[in-house]
Amino acid sequence: MLGYAGRIARVDLTSGSVKVEEVPGWLIDLFIGGKGFVYGLLSRELSPGVDALSPGNKIVIAAGALAGLAPAASKTIVGAVSPLSGLIHDTSVGEWFSYFLRGAGFDALIIEGASKEPVYLWVHDGMVEIRDASRVWGKSTRDAVKLIREETNRAASVMVIGPAGENMVKIANVMVDGERAGGRGGLGAVFGAKGLKAVSVYGIPRIEVADRDRLRRLFLEVYERFRTTYEAAEHREYGTNNGLVISGTLGVSPAYNYGKPKLSEEESHKLSGYAIKELEVGFPGKPIKIVGSLCPVKCSRWVRIPGEDDFVKPEYEKWGLLGAAVGVFDKAVVLKAMRIADDLGLDAIGAGNVIAWAMDLYEHGLLNKDETGLELRFGNGEAVLRLLEDMAYRRGFGALLADGVADAVKRLGRGSEYAVHIKNLALPAWYPNGPLRGLVISYLTADVGASHLRGWPEMHSEDTPLKNTVESMINDRDHKAVMDSMGLCVFNPYKWDDIAEFYAAATGRKLNKEQLARVSVRIDTIARIWHVLLGYVDPWSEIPHKMIHDPNGPRLRRDEVMEALREFYRLRGWDTETGMPSEEYLRDLGLDWMIPLRNKALDIINKSSIQH
């Protein structure tokens, strides 16, 4: 099996058994690897409606098809049914994990059942050991990584959860090597529900490829091109840390719970790559594990936290949600909040979003100090730091926020008009406003809900019909889905031809752009059917109140949204009124197992009064 390790390890935590299987041909033919493997496996093995925190849920950890074979092919995709949305949810996380996973002899792990006692997995030399994790249960993500390396291999890459995941906080994430976040969707809670603290992997890949000389030439040529290209210059110098400067200027930032999307230059620069440049630490102080595995861009920064004997790897989404969204523009406080969130294994986007919602309610008199125990005004950085801890441990008012904004609205019984989420997934730090109004269609149709990594429309004027933004968004979505299936970092400017050439040199399989993009079509098609079966039938009802009524927001109208959705369905080849694929369409994509679920979904739509 050229270009692949060729094996999957299936781990049953209930019985404590491990079974090694060959990677089935259909999985490679239809889904390639990485993100595709997650959707192919979970859509066949799980039924919509499975309890995400039950032993019946499954975790898939998959290396991209080019892991270790191409520049920046460092992404590992982790997937399971999300405790937030109930949907199949995948997250991408960087560094050496996927490289070592294939070196250990596996393209993917499938983790089933649940252990009665805390465990971790040690994956190496073609085997998987289930080990006692009682020594590391309760530890921070960084401390757990150190201890597990002592027990396995000091060079191992370790995917781990923190106290938030152990307490099944639904906005808990997974962390790789203590610094790389696999966020969104609450996958850390799924690990915690299974009693799984971590997965440690190590091995040097010996992948047999179709044309090693060609692969070597491609690697060197593309690495040098990306290392020097102007397209990646901003990320090489600042990483993603100038995101607020861009979003604040465009009027698409999350500032003050998305209530002030346009920021002055003075405000946005306080939380930027410019502001932290003097705090950056290079080698030898910068840990080798965050350099960016095989990456020519090297966007990760390593920053000293002012006033602390500690460091953190900042990113724009963290500046946006743990800073601007909660009205905190003190970089020292925001950097400390990032450190706390990473150590506790909390998703910075979900945590910042729900704290910003609570502050919005407090400012509008819908919450008071007797209920919160804190002065929850925008800008209260100390309250943010306190709430992160309380959310991870489900203490006090933090317990109400611990499962994300949609759940908090239900528990509190008020404040839905200030909640900003789609399909129970918190909006990221890119508000679909102004020249990015069309981003709302990406959020509404994305497999997981409101993710900024599921396709961007081209920039457009504010009065551009939403319908006219859809095609460019789909093009970008298809490209990103294929990048995630190959395990390639989206901050490296791969073209379709680059991807096709690497895949051919590695596997001998010659696929053109259209053939590669069918992976994305399959994922979107599976996701659309799951959306309906999970009750996401009326897209208009999913749009946050602020996006319709706030004068500073996009002021969306039902007619334009529905028109754009019909265009999305048309371009995907689905029925423009129901948004459903035909049975023939599913057979053509090789998704025969989805036909019974498609028929159930169509019946739900026909019985509803929703007209697209």
On whether the CB atoms of residues 92 and 74 are closer than 8 A, the answer is no
| pLDDT of 287 | 72
Structure tokens at 153: 């291999």
3-class DSSP state of 496: helix
The Cα 520–Cα 524 span in angstroms is 6
- Token pair 């290079």 is at which residue? 282
Torsion angle, alpha carbons of 280, 286, 287, 291, to 10: 80
Query: Beta 196-202 vs 119-124: how paired, if at all?
Result: parallel
E-assigned strand segments in 133-247: 157-160, 174-176, 180-182, 196-202
CB atoms within 10 A of CB 284: 7
Nearest in space to 607 (alpha carbons), one of 537, 559, 525, 543: 537
Burial string for 328-346 (b: 16+ CB within 10 Å, else e) reads: bbebebbbbbbbbbbbbbb
Number of alpha carbons in the 13 Å side-chain half-sphere of residue 463: 0
Measured on CA atoms in the order 577, 583, 589, 593, is the torsion positive or negative? Answer: positive
| pLDDT of 483 | 97
| pLDDT of 299 | 83
| pLDDT of 291 | 65
Nearest in space to 98 (alpha carbons), one of 72, 125, 76, 65: 76
- Largest Cα span, the chain: 69
Question: Can you give the length of the chain in residues?
Answer: 612
What is the tens place of the pLDDT at every residue in 346-358? Answer: 999 999 999 999 9
Which CA distances in Å does 288 have to 158, 188, 220, 298?
14, 25, 22, 12
Nearest in space to 340 (alpha carbons), one of 386, 271, 400, 301: 386
| pLDDT of 177 | 93
What is the tens place of the pLDDT at every residue in 24-75? Answer: 999 999 999 999 999 999 999 999 999 999 999 999 999 999 999 999 999 9
Overall pTM > 0.95: yes
| pLDDT of 232 | 85
Name residues of the chain where pLDDT drops below 50. Answer: 611-612
Preceding omega of 314 cis (within 30 degrees of 0): no
The Cα 110–Cα 44 span in angstroms is 13
113 conformational bin, left if phi > 0, alpha if psi -120 to 50, beta if neither = left
312 phi and psi angles, rounded to 5 deg = -155, 155
| DSSP-assigned beta bridge partners for residue 77 | 62, 92
The Cα 158–Cα 150 span in angstroms is 11
Structure tokens at 459: 């920039």
Nearest in space to 594 (alpha carbons), one of 605, 575, 580, 573: 580
Nearest in space to 295 (alpha carbons), one of 446, 73, 124, 563: 73
CA 537 to chain CA mean position, Å: 23
CB atoms within 10 A of CB 265: 11
| pLDDT of 294 | 80
Q: Report angle CA 111, 112, 117 to the nearest 5 degrees.
A: 95
The Cα 119–Cα 129 span in angstroms is 10
- Token pair 């496996």 is at which residue? 41
